[in-house]
Each structure stands twice: as C-alpha cells, then as structure tokens.
C-alpha cells in the first residue's frame, strides 16, 4: 500500500490569531494524521532560499 504525505504550513497571521490548534483539528477531522509538528521563525533569507 502506497503512503501519501502532505506538507503544510500555517501562515503567520493564523499563528498570530492563535488558530494553530483549530487548523490542526480541521486537518484531523478531514482524515489526515499529523505525524510531526515544528514551530520555527524563518529569516527572510531562509524563506527566499
């Protein structure tokens, strides 16, 4: 059985509005399983990289 993986990013405005839990809940309710989560603050150079 093939495994499909999806990478997602929660945008900064949603983080500022404290919506990360709600976004994660929506993903799980859609049948997706969160296997890892990491919170970082990227520099402009990293984002443009």
Q: What is the pLDDT of residues 1-49, one digit of tens each?
A: 888 898 999 999 999 999 999 999 999 999 999 999 999 988 999 989 8
Domain boundaries defined on the chain: 12-48
What end-to-end distance do the CA atoms of the chain give, in Å?
34
Q: For position 26, what pLDDT does the model report?
A: 97
Which pTM was predicted? 0.72
SS3 readout for 3-49: CCCCCCCCCHHHHHCCCHHHHHHHHHHCCCCCCCCCCCCCCHHHHHC
Q: For position 49, what pLDDT does the model report?
A: 85
User: Any idea of the CA torsion for 35, 38, 44, 49, to the nearest 10 degrees?
Assistant: -40
């Amino acid at each position: 059985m093939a495994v499909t993986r999806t990478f997602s990013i929660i945008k900064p405005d949603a983080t500022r509005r404290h919506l990360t839990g709600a976004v994660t809940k929506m993903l799980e309710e859609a049948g997706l399983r969160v296997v890892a989560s990491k919170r970082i603050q990227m520099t402009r150079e990293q984002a443009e990289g």
